[in-house]
Amino acid sequence: MKLLFHIRYISPSMTKQLLHSNSFQQRSLLHTCVPLLNKEKLPDKSNSSKKEKFDEQPHMRIESKAAAREKNPYKYMMYHEIYSEKELHSVKITHKKFESWHDRIAYAAVQTMRFFFDTFTGYVHVPIESESDKNKTKHRQRKPMNEKQWLRRIIFLESIAGVPGMVAGMSRHMKSLRTMQRDHGWIHTLLSEAENERMHLLTFLELRNPGWIFRAFVLLGQGVFFNAFFVTYLISPTVCHRFVGFLEEEAVITYTRCLQELDAGRLPIWSKTPAPSIAKSYWKLKDDAMMKDVLLAVRADEATHRQVNHKLADAGPDSPNPFLTREKEERDPPDEKEQDEIDTANKK
């Protein structure tokens, strides 16, 4: 009560001094921050006739950011590949030859996961080459999947695919802090991969909103896979990167199969479905892009991850990142020659 009484009866002159002091502190604080916000918006001190208000400078900067986001709402995201038409259609199905016990363990783990994943999504995987064989009638009698089944499969796949890059990047980040040593450029590449896979998920979620049962399975699968991959990465990063490389090989096969189904007219809804706006902005697709263009871009991303993880496994965890030269605003995706380098299993 005494404090309120004193405040009530402060003299007007003292009140004016307090307000002036408070205003001076605000201007002084803002004055030290304005150069960090935007040097181009600083008031011209040489022209004393103009009264520049410092409190307007941050708003001018915020409006500039908003205008930039309207032009490219995903400009804040990490670097990712932007593909030409030739690059989208030059993606190959490759398989790396086993060179050590690491490779065999990683491939066995991928095939085990694929068996359970195919069973869960109701998909019987048929190799691309086997369908051209006229004698294998059982493959021709396979019932094709519809759009709903493909979405169920892809959404579950992408909800898991975003885990390895984040876990690997986090592990290397913590190791760098713990050992107080540099990481040699791996962290950014791995986190960029994780974000790219998440954008795949967000794109396909524009077409379907899964129910609580599906989300429960995603939560379960993500929890098991996250912890298993994290423990394995602490033991052997090489096995983990080879595992992701083989996993991305299977992803390229899956999206190639989906594109073939689309071209064969077995997915009539998708053949008439425009690409979601999030996909157009992220991959810089044309305004009239369709779902086929989205599938081509996603498949190209998976081929890039396949290339990156096989190369990281070959380099070893203590080597510099071999993809540091690609760290610019628009990196060049792997060309056909680079894809042939990891297609060692199919070479004679």
Binding-site residues sit at 158, 197, 200, 248, 302, 305
Has residue 292 been placed in a domain? Answer: yes
Has residue 7 been placed in a domain? Answer: no
Question: For 6-32, what is each residue's pLDDT tens digit?
Answer: 545 555 565 555 445 554 444 443 333
Binding-site residues for Fe cation sit at 158, 197, 200, 248, 302, 305
Has residue 12 been placed in a domain? Answer: no
The domain tally of the chain equals: 1
Give the CB-side neighbour count of residue 320, counting CA atoms within 13 A: 4
Has residue 347 been placed in a domain? Answer: no
The domain in which residue 229 lies consists of 119-124+144-315
- Identify the pLDDT of residue 348: 52
The chain-wide mean pLDDT, for the chain, equals 78
Q: Which residues share a beta bridge with 290?
A: 274
Nearest to 107 by CA among 313, 255, 298, 341: 313
Does residue 201 have a pLDDT over 90? Answer: yes
CATH of the domain at 245: 1.20.1260.140
Has residue 334 been placed in a domain? Answer: no
Has residue 278 been placed in a domain? Answer: yes
Q: Whole-angstrom distance between the N-terminal and C-terminal Cα of the chain? A: 93
pTM for this entry: 0.72
Does residue 212 have a pLDDT over 60? Answer: yes
Has residue 178 been placed in a domain? Answer: yes
Has residue 91 been placed in a domain? Answer: no
Nearest to 120 by CA among 19, 214, 31, 49: 214
Range from 75-79, 143-147, 228-232, 318-322 carrying the lowest mean pLDDT: 75-79
